A and B are shown apart, each in its own frame.
Chain A
Amino acid sequence: MDSALIPEGVKRCSTGKFALFIGIVGAVLLWGVYAMLLCWLKGLNQTNMNDYYGFALWIWADLAVIALGGGAFFTGFLRYIVGKDELKNIINYAVLIGFICYSSALLILAIDIGQPLRGWFIFWHANVHSMLTEVAFCLSCYFAVLSIEYLPLILENRQLNKVPFFHHLAHNMHEVMAVFAATGAFLSFFHQGSLGGVAGVLFGRPFSFREGVFVWPWTFFLFTWSAAAYGPCFTLSLTKLIEAITGKQLVGEKCVNLLAKISGWMILTYIIAKIADTWYWASVLAPAQGFTLMDFYSNNPVYGIWILVLEIVIGGIIPALILITERGRKNPMLFILAIILGVIGVSINRWVMVLQVMAVPVMPFDTWAMYFPSWQEIATTILPVAYGVILIAISYRYLPVFPQERELND
């Protein structure tokens, strides 16, 4: 029925099957939309956030998807700036995932703020001292860049490409993509960093405060670094996922191997820096404010010391060691384990930098604050996932996302 839209020379499932799939995921999406509307119309009392948890599930989801979407800027950076040509085989998918992550992040932010209709004040009444202002500007700009990077792919749709204007536009955009990729990498450096800075500058919150260079706390650099390191893990995870679902190989071995290797080394260097940072914080910064490391890891269900182990050892050292070795990358099970642990590792990092910051009592007579999200929060957090699944499904079906697909499946 829609065969005219499907790229030439590739096989896609039947329209009915596709529609059923979209219908199911669409139902989840609608559930999320309903929750979103509740939050907008009735206010944030629909959530389980409170005055202790001003930042909660959403901000974590925001930071996490942006970190995971980091695969886009870093792959772009490697492909266009560093010149790792091999990565052209995964760049489209990386850009698509990045686009989904960043549009989701913006959507979540629009739900998260108490006065969405005034959200634009962040630009209009911008406070240059605020990390969040920097985030907002860079995030919006980088989203525009991602749109520009994603647009030529849309225009390469079989039917759209028949329009000469679109054809030329797409072609010309490809020509200048290096400029956008460079811009994107630059913007990403800042907003990934600023997101780290959001927590790192909170000098009233000893758990998150990490002094650094000039106006930037160490978290600024660590966030950029970790997004670059772990983002590709997410891109690769989703590549493996879509390959499993479609039952086809979509990206060449060489490309995957290269990206995984770079990611592994990035994670390794990052985790060394992270350990050094944690060490300095635990032994110098926090004690100066009267805290020992164990003051931050209470014996409660969520924030025991295990979470630090999970983040650094299980989600950092282990995937790094697997990915930097040839054998690790070649072993499918270990490879999958490593990229999944990587995704978990960075997500945990963002979790503690958002939620544990809120949970730790600072005033000596205060107590640990616990929190569990409401269904509205969960639904609105799943909403972007459903949206992402749909967008990937449609893009995969109608756009030449994987340039190697035909060659690998002939």
Chain B
Amino acid sequence: MKKAQEQNKPKKYGMVIDLDKCTGCGACMVACMAENNVPFKKDESNKKDSITWMRVYKLTNDEKYPDADICYLPRPCQHCEGQHGHSPCVSVCPATATDYSEETGIVSQIYTRCFGCRYCMAACPYHARYFNWWDPVWPEGMEKMLNPDVSPRMRGIVEKCSFCFHRYQSAMDKAHYEGRRDIEEGEYQTACTQACPAGAITFGDLNNPAHKVHELKKHPDAFRLLERLGTNPKIYYMSNREWVRKAGDNHLMAEKPAKKQH
């Protein structure tokens, strides 16, 4: 009975990203683009219209030479839980094209439902949502590399990181086929987690004590982006550098960095 309850406990997938390990190499971004059929244009240097579900920000400590320091911060969709699943974006979508899954904690995006009002983009403080300003175009022959598990998007709609939800689905399908009710930690990993050569990203069920993220998120160096807004995101970051932890949120001049609460 207890076991059954345990199994029915909703999952809450999330990440812990070790910013001290992250090297800013961009492998997560590329792996994500390849896995999720993210389109590319001839010029992607305007970062304000360049679709990168996973974007690695470069943070600086604003100190002068030689005390300057750099830190890279990979930013996938934060899959905010908000209060009771009311993430900033989900509650505003007028056509229910984005949804908070109570089963996995994943914020989904239904491309064929979205009609491109972009209200969710206005709502997201992380700029994790991207609009298809153009028709996606693959040069002749290059459409061969498209992943059939993820449908290419059409012009005029919003897209974003899905935590590689198709990987969850196929892992669950496989488990069910083999007569299992659930999947192991290693069976479902996002493309960026898998690709990170530095092993900086840990992905798993934040609710499951058997998963690494369950402990990692309690690390004293762990913090989340813009926690003060109440978005309740599921991406945790870790750094032993104070300025990095401080850069995760806005602080008034007089404030010391907020004490961690778990």
So, do A and B actually touch in the complex, CB under 8 Å?
yes
Mark A residues whose CB is within 8 Å of B: 43-45, 49-55, 112-116, 118-119, 121-122, 124-127, 129-133, 136, 198, 201-206, 287-292, 295, 357-358, 362-366, 369
Residue B250 contacts which of A115, A129, A203, A290 (CB distance < 8 angstroms)? A290
| A202 and B125 alpha carbons, distance in the complex (Å) | 9
Query: What distance in Å separates the Cβ of B255 from its nearest Cβ neighbour in chain A?
Result: 7
Query: What distance in Å separates the Cβ of A396 from its nearest Cβ neighbour in chain B?
Result: 35
Residues from chain A with a CB closer than 8 A to the CB of B95 are 121-122, 124-127, 133
Interface residues of chain B: helix, strand, loop or mixed (majority): loop
| A125 and B228 alpha carbons, distance in the complex (Å) | 32
| A132 and B251 alpha carbons, distance in the complex (Å) | 32
Of B10-18, B85-93, B170-178, B206-214, which stretch is located at the interface?
A: B85-93
Residues from chain B with a CB closer than 8 A to the CB of A288 are 228
Mark B residues whose CB is within 8 Å of A: 46, 48-50, 57, 59, 73, 80, 82, 86, 88, 91-97, 113-119, 121-127, 129-135, 154-158, 225-226, 228-231, 247-253, 255
| A292 and B251 alpha carbons, distance in the complex (Å) | 9
Most buried by A among B57, B154, B226, B251: B226
Q: Contact between A291 and B250 (Cβ–Cβ < 8 Å)? A: yes
Interface residues of chain A: helix, strand, loop or mixed (majority): loop
Q: Contact between A292 and B252 (Cβ–Cβ < 8 Å)? A: yes
| A126 and B97 alpha carbons, distance in the complex (Å) | 10
Residues from chain B with a CB closer than 8 A to the CB of A201 are 91-92
Residues from chain B with a CB closer than 8 A to the CB of A51 are 48-50, 121, 127, 129-131
Contact A115 to B114, CB < 8 A, known contacts A290-B255, A364-B248, A364-B249: yes
Q: Contact between A290 and B94 (Cβ–Cβ < 8 Å)? A: no
Q: Contact between B247 and A365 (Cβ–Cβ < 8 Å)? A: yes
Q: Contact between B156 and A125 (Cβ–Cβ < 8 Å)? A: no
| A369 and B46 alpha carbons, distance in the complex (Å) | 12
Most buried by A among B86, B93, B96, B255: B96
Residue A206 contacts which of B229, B248, B252 (CB distance < 8 angstroms)? B229
Q: Contact between B123 and A121 (Cβ–Cβ < 8 Å)? A: no
Query: What distance in Å separates the Cβ of A382 from its nearest Cβ neighbour in chain B?
Result: 22
Q: Which residue of A lies closest to B134 (CB)?
A: A45
| A17 and B32 alpha carbons, distance in the complex (Å) | 63
Q: Contact between B93 and A130 (Cβ–Cβ < 8 Å)? A: yes
Q: Contact between A112 and B117 (Cβ–Cβ < 8 Å)? A: yes
Residues from chain A with a CB closer than 8 A to the CB of B132 are 114
Q: Contact between B123 and A136 (Cβ–Cβ < 8 Å)? A: no
| A362 and B135 alpha carbons, distance in the complex (Å) | 29
Q: Contact between A133 and B229 (Cβ–Cβ < 8 Å)? A: no
